[in-house]
Chain A
Amino acid sequence: MIKFDNVSKKFATGTVALSDVSLSIDKGEFVFLVGSTGSGKTTLFRLLIRDILPTEGKVFVNELEVTNLPKNKLPHLRKGVGVVFQDLKLLLDRTVFENVALPLEVSGINSENARLKVEEVLRQVGLNEHKDKFPVQLSGGEVQRVAIARALVLAPQILLADEPTGNLDQSTSWEIVQILSEINKKGATVIMATHNSDIIKNMNKRIIHIEEGKIIKDEKSHEQKPHKETHRNEKKADNEKEPKESKEEKKK
């Protein structure tokens, strides 16, 4: 489904964002991409929708060589990959409804069908009552959900979420992850970049650790062969951590 073949990316500024990354993600997987800021997570996403080209190596999406795609095929690729951008990239002068309808509009879907789809997706992320508001009128978790709804509206096979819980509190983050998990259950491949370790531990999914442009660890999900003990231990660890965090939040 998704494959990186010895991919390196060096920016014109000299920054090496990725060096010799090889990676493959199957259809229907839920993968966490973990690493500190500047580790190359966003670069990986940008390569997948060919917002940028790699300096070396090849990128494949759905058997399609993204790195060798003619320019006029880019819209087709991008319609098939939903992206929740780190900076959301919502149009601030358009309402929630209009923002979510944008990919449909771009694909030339007629407005009646578009309306039904948008309403369905907004219900899915729980935003139907806010559909006529503008992004600035919403809370952090709500705008995040708008971005997710927009990424989902074309029912893409692949969903990339770049730090979707970036500056949200614990419970809102959890809601967001639940939404992504639901989408994954319906068959979409989901890649979520994050550094929120609690969520990662609770979800028990494949985790790819990336640091300074290199994959340092690729932990497979334990779902296929459940290991009760580890699972229990993880949960325990979480329970211990939570009160500590809420205290920190109070301090803020």
Chain B
Amino acid sequence: MKSFNTAWRNIRRSPYQAFAAILIMTLTFLVVSFFVFILVGSSKIVSYFESVPEVTAFFKNEASQEDINALENELSQTGKISSVKFVSKEEAVEIYKEQNKNDPILIEFVTADVLPASFEISAYEIEDLGSISEMLKKTPIVEQVIYQKDVISALTAWTSAIRKIGISLIILLSLVSVFIMVTIIGIKISHKKEDIEIMRLIGATSWYIRWPFIIEGIFYACIGAFVGWTIASGTLLYTTPFLESFLKGIPVLPVSYLSLLELLGLELILAVILGVLSSFLAVLRYLK
């Protein structure tokens, strides 16, 4: 309890140092939170695509209705297809307009001629998508085949790139914040050198002297984590409506409050680790 009072007094008496320490920790945890959102979000998107086995085949302009019907028959005979939905050029325009209703300029230049008609084909098993898409590609009236394998591999490539950048950034920021905290706590220790010497001479144990500094480190890190998390979560909740319309039916959002709280818990644990680590380094370095 006494250590808490001493730590609190130390914090109050040097507000600028406290502010610097909290700020760097806030930045670190802000980045941690955002990357967690992005990573969790993108992996959810990937698994969504994996769970819905769908192939889209776009037809060439010259494709006749008979050819299309023949293809539909051929597809249903494979026994792998659960449904085939034909999307005409007109329907494609409607869908496009619906998706971009907030952007009149985009709608203005798009007519039914520009957009191809297509089949939206659902399979029973994701493994069958490969063979179905091969079959469609061989069909002369099909211009282009898009199926999740492409989407998934593109997404996976992006996710792993983001993950690498994110983890490097988090490690870099954690290191920076630890070093800044070591410096700040080191300054405080040097500043109180005389007091520490006196306390030693009247019988203070090393831990009695160390605890307030360690508590101080934990305090800065936890406040930083909380502020960083609050800003990141606030931003996420604020942009949820926009992101939902952008993700068009992919069930990623809204993020539940429970998982946000879980994230806060994990970040606080990380904060305690960073705080203890940096104040411990400072104590070892400056308190011999």
A-to-B contact residues, CB < 8 Å: 49, 51, 72, 74-79, 83, 85, 89-91, 102-103, 105-107, 150, 154
Contact = CB atoms under 8 A, between A and B. Distances in A.
B261 to A, nearest CB: 36
Interface stretch (B157-165, B202-210, B252-260): B202-210
Contacts of A85: 201
B205 A75 contact: yes
A89 B208 CA distance: 18
19 contacts: A49-B201, A72-B205, A75-B203, A75-B205, A75-B208, A76-B203, A78-B201, A78-B202, A79-B203, A83-B202, A89-B198, A89-B201, A91-B195, A91-B198, A102-B199, A102-B202, A105-B2, A106-B204, A107-B203
A172 B197 CA distance: 29
Interface SS of A by simple majority: helix
B10 to A, nearest CB: 11
Interface string B198-235: 11111111001000000000000000000000000000
B202 A106 contact: yes
Nearest to B204: A106
Contacts of A103: 202-203
Contacts of B201: 49, 51, 78, 83, 85, 89
A51 B200 CA distance: 9
Nearest to B197: A89
Contacts of B195: 91
Q: How large is the interface on B (under 10, 10 to 19, 20 to 34, 35 or more residues)?
A: 10 to 19
Given A91-B198, A154-B203, 13 more contacts: A72-B205, A75-B204, A78-B202, A79-B203, A89-B197, A90-B198, A102-B199, A103-B202, A106-B202, A106-B204, A106-B205, A106-B208, A107-B203
Sort A-B residue pairs by CB-CB distance and give the 7 closest, nearest first: A78-B203, A79-B203, A106-B204, A75-B203, A75-B205, A89-B198, A103-B202
A76 B208 CA distance: 13
A85 B194 CA distance: 14
A206 B225 CA distance: 64
A106 B206 CA distance: 10
A102 B201 CA distance: 11
Contacts of A106: 199, 202-205, 208
B203 to A, nearest CB: 4
Contacts of B203: 74-79, 103, 106-107, 154
Interface string B2-24: 10000000000000000000000
A78 to B, nearest CB: 4
Contacts of A90: 198
Interface in B168-217: 195, 197-205, 208
A78 B205 CA distance: 10
B24 to A, nearest CB: 28
A106 B195 CA distance: 13
Contacts of A91: 195, 198
Nearest to A154: B203
Contacts of B2: 105
A59 B2 CA distance: 34
Nearest to A85: B201
A85 B203 CA distance: 14
Interface string B135-173: 000000000000000000000000000000000000000
Contacts of B204: 75, 106
A75 B208 CA distance: 10
A56 B204 CA distance: 27
B99 to A, nearest CB: 67
